[in-house]
């Protein structure tokens, strides 16, 4: 009988990043995951010789081609559909694990059955915290982030609050939105809520999912003691410009879904 892994790690690979970034992620995983058993599913935006070399180096790795050659929620869902672990997780390939991180995240979920999603603390090469937690974005936040109004409105205080700039990121706390670049999900959450909404193209599918989870009564936690290092930052969120239509479409979709849900969320 096949033994089920403790954790499925799902991530997207972009050829422009180079296969070395993915290899570094896998090396840190294999070095520091113990005693967690795991499987790794990579969805690649195009297959090439470099990826074939990574697959030879890590023969247990599963590499899938992105459906329709698209990144985003559809690619994440493609990996999650094949994930068989007791817990599921999403990662950005520029991250590197430390000893105890994965065991700590899973131990928290084991000990706290009301916790549906958890995220680690991300630190940059200089040791500074990379904020990976947000409040649920408001209309004002989205205008400041993605429209020309952000250049003119005095919104730094609003954005600082949205990015939780006043919180102590060296302490655990319950959160509203955990970014999908470093996120562990209880399988029961996915079975109850389903997968990410593929109506989103570039942004806010994870914010929508976290809001859905909270609406269903699950708690979201940021764990400062579980640390991953950021070797390379992900691309900056798209702003108005070449992707303006899709960005504004994602913002509109998120706000409509947020406003059309029942207003009352479970108290933390």
In this prediction, residue 74 has a pLDDT band, given cuts at 50, 70 and 90, of: very high
Q: What is the mean pLDDT of residues 28-39?
A: 97
Q: Is the pLDDT of residue 266 over 50?
A: no
Core vs surface per residue 80-109: b (16+ CB within 10 A) or e: beebebbbbbbbbbbbbbbeebbbbbbebb
Query: To the nearest whole number, what is the mean pLDDT of the chain?
Result: 90
pLDDT, tens digit, for every residue of 116-137?
A: 999 999 999 999 999 899 999 9
Tokens 């990015």, residue located: 163
Asked whether the beta carbons of 222 and 122 are under 8 A apart, the reply is no
> To 5 degrees, how large is the angle CA 246–CA 249–CA 253?
140
- The whole-angstrom separation of Cα 29 and Cα 50 is 19
Half-sphere exposure of 154 (CA within 13 A, CB side): 0
Rounded Cα distance between 172 and 163, Å, is: 16
- Residue 76: pLDDT over 90: yes
DSSP string, 6-42: SEEEEEEE-GGG-HHHHHHHHHHHHHH-TT--EEEEE
Distance CA 157, CA 163 (A): 10
**0.85 exceeded by the pTM?**
yes
> Mean pLDDT lowest for which of 45-54, 77-86, 179-188, 230-239?
230-239
pLDDT at 153: 63
Which DSSP symbol is given to 150? Answer: G
CA atoms of 28 and 61, how far apart (whole Å)? 14
pLDDT of residue 171: 97
DSSP state of 43: E
Interval 171-206: pLDDT, tens: 999 999 999 999 999 999 999 999 999 999 989 999
Cis peptide before 35 (omega within 30 of 0): yes
Domains, the chain, ranges and CATH?
Answer: 7-121+167-234 (3.90.550.10)
In sequence order, the β-bridge partners of residue 64 are: 43
- Which tokens hold the place of 203? 């942004």
Phi, psi dihedral angles at 124 (to 5 degrees): -80, 175
């Amino acid at each position: 009988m096949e033994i089920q892994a403790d954790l499925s790690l799902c991530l997207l690979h972009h050829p422009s990043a180079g296969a070395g970034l993915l290899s570094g992620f896998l090396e840190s995983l294999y070095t520091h995951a113990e005693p967690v058993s795991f499987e790794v599913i990579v969805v690649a935006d195009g297959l090439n010789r470099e990826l074939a070399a990574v697959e030879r180096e890590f023969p247990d790795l599963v590499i899938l081609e992105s459906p329709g050659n698209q990144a985003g929620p559809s690619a994440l869902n493609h990996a999650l559909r094949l994930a068989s672990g007791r817990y599921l997780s999403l990662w950005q390939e520029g991250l590197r694990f430390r000893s105890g991180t994965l065991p700590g995240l899973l131990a928290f979920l084991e000990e706290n059955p009301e916790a549906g999603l958890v995220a680690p603390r991300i630190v940059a090469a200089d040791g500074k915290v990379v904020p990976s937690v947000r409040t649920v974005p408001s209309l004002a936040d989205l205008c400041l982030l993605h429209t020309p109004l952000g250049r003119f409105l005095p919104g730094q205080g609003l954005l600082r609050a949205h990015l939780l700039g006043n919180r102590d990121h060296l302490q655990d706390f319950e959160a509203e939105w955990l970014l999908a670049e470093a996120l562990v999900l209880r399988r029961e959450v996915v079975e109850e809520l389903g997968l990410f909404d593929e109506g989103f193209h570039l942004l806010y599918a994870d914010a929508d999912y976290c809001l859905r989870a909270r609406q269903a009564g699950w708690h979201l936690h940021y764990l400062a003691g579980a640390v991953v290092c950021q070797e390379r930052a992900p691309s900056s969120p798209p702003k108005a410009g070449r992707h303006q239509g899709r960005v504004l479409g994602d913002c509109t979709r998120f706000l409509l879904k947020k406003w059309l849900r029942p207003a009352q969320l479970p108290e933390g």
